[in-house]
Amino acid sequence: MSKVEHTPRVFSGIKPSGGLTLGNYLGAIKRWVDMQGPDFETTYCVVDLHAITVWQDPADLRHATRETAAAMLASGINPDTSTLFNQSQVPAHAELGWIFNCVARVGWMNRMTQFKDKAGKNAEKVSLGLYAYPSLMAADILVHHATHVPVGEDQKQHVELTRDIAAKFNHDYKVDFFPMTEPVIEGPATRVMNLRDGSKKMSKSGESDMERINMTDDAATIAKKFKKARTDPEALPDNLEALKGRVEARNLVDIYAGLSDTTPEAVITEYAGAGWGRFKPALADLAVAKLAPISDEMSRLMDDPAEIDRLLAKGAERAEAVAQPILEKTYDIVGLVRSRK
Ligand code: AMP
Ligand code: TRP
C-alpha cells in the first residue's frame, strides 16, 4: 500500500488542563501561528482526552477547552485556513490510539521521562491513561498523516516514540502507510523555565503562581512577576557564552528573544552591561505589549462560548474528513472486518 501523498501537514495539540502559560505561547502557539501559510496544511487540536489522564473537574474542563481554543484564535490561528478542533469530537483519534496501544511495547512506555516525572513515587496510583498517553499522542499525529509537529522541547521524546510506532506498524504489516514525523523544536524559547527556579520548566500546575506568566495575567501582575523573578546579582554580559550556568538569566534573555522575534544573541548585544533594574522592566513592558491584546481578545471570545463551539465543530468536521479515511485504511491493513463499511 502506498503512502497518501499530500502537502506537508502540521499537527500539534495542547491540553486544556488549566490556564495557559507564556511557555505554551512561546513554545507552541506562537510557532503554530507562524507555520500557517502556503507551505503546510495546519491542524491544531485542543487535546481534551489527554487532559483527563489526570483528574479534571468537568466544569473546569469545559471552561479550559473553550479558553484554550480562544487563546489560539486570539493569538492568530485562523479557523478558515487552519483546522482547529477538540480531540474528543473526532473519535478516530481514540480509535487509532487503541490500535497503537497494541503496537507500542511496554518497554518503550517505561522509558518515557515525562511519565516518570509526573507519576513520581505514585506510579501505582496514577491512571492507566497517563501511562498510555504517548500512544494516543502518536495516534493524534498519525491519524492525520502529519509530517511536522511543532512542540516544546519536553515533547521531543513523544514525537520520537511516534516515529517508532509508525515504523513498527509499517514493518509488521509490510506497508509504507504511516509517515515518519519530524518534531519541529525551533526558536529561542522551546523550553521556558520557571521564574522562581530556573532548573524547572514553567508549567500550568506549579505550586506558586509567581513562577509562571499566565496568558491572562494583567499588566501589573506581569510586571510584578518579572520584578520578583529569581536572577543573580550580575549584570548581563555581552555574549551568550558568558551566560553558561546562569540559568535564570539565560531564561529571561530567551523569553525576551521569543517575544520580540529576535535571537538571544541580538538581545545580549542590545543589553550588554545592563543590570536587572533595566532589563526586567523592559522585559515586562515587552510581555505586556505582546500579551495584553491577546488576553483582551480571549476575554472577548469567551463572552460568546457558543461561537467558540461553532468554530470547533466546523474544525472537527474538517478534521474528521481527513482522519476517518486514514482510520478505515488502518482497519483494512490490520484485518478488522468493516461490516458496516
Ligand atoms: P501542554 O500544556 O503540556 O499541553 O503543552 C502544550 C505545548 O506547549 C507543548 O508543545 C509543549 O511542549 C509546550 N510547552 C509547555 N510548557 C512549555 C514551556 N515551559 N516551554 C516551552 N514550551 C512549552
Ligand atoms: N502531549 C502534548 C503535551 O502534553 C500534547 C499533545 C497531545 C500533542 N497530542 C499531540 C502535541 C500531538 C503534538 C502533537 O504537550
Residue nearest ligand 2's atom 14 by CA: 12
The pick from 11, 15, 22, 24 for probing ligand 1's pocket by mutation, whose C-beta has the most ligand atoms within 8 angstroms, reads 24
| Same structural domain, 277 and 330 | no
Whether residue 255 lies inside any domain: the answer is yes
The pick from 154, 203, 252, 259 for probing ligand 1's pocket by mutation, whose C-beta has the most ligand atoms within 8 angstroms, reads 154
Reply yes or no on whether the pLDDT at 209 is more than 90. yes
Q: From the CA of 11, give the closest atom in ligand 2.
A: 14
Q: Give percent above pLDDT 70 in the chain.
A: 98
Whether residue 340 lies inside any domain: the answer is no
Number of domains in the chain: 2
Q: Is the CB of 14 under 6 A from ligand 1?
A: yes
124 burial via Cβ count (<10 Å: 0-12, 13-18, 19+):
exposed
Q: From the CA of 47, give the closest atom in ligand 2.
A: 7
| Same structural domain, 50 and 162 | yes
pLDDT tens digit sequence for 212-247: 999 999 999 999 999 999 999 999 999 999 999 999
Range of the domain at 164: 9-190+309-334
Whether residue 231 lies inside any domain: the answer is yes
Reply yes or no on whether the pLDDT at 326 is more than 70. yes
Task: Give the span between the Cα atoms of 115 and 117, in whole angstroms.
Answer: 5
Q: Give me ligand 2 centre to Cα 59, in Å.
A: 22
pTM: 0.96
**Four-residue CA torsion sign, 64, 44, 77, 258:** positive
Q: Is the CB of 27 under 6 A from ligand 2?
A: no
- The grid cell for 205 is 500546575
pLDDT tens digit sequence for 276-319: 999 999 999 999 999 999 999 999 999 999 999 999 999 999 99
| Same structural domain, 125 and 260 | no
Neighbours of 120 (CB within 10 A): 9
CB–CB of 11/149 below 8 Å?
A: yes
Ligand nearest to the CA of 44: 2
**Residue closest to 169 by CA, chosen among 194, 196, 135:** 135
Average pLDDT over all residues of the chain: 96
| Same structural domain, 234 and 273 | yes
CATH number of the domain encompassing residue 276: 1.10.240.10
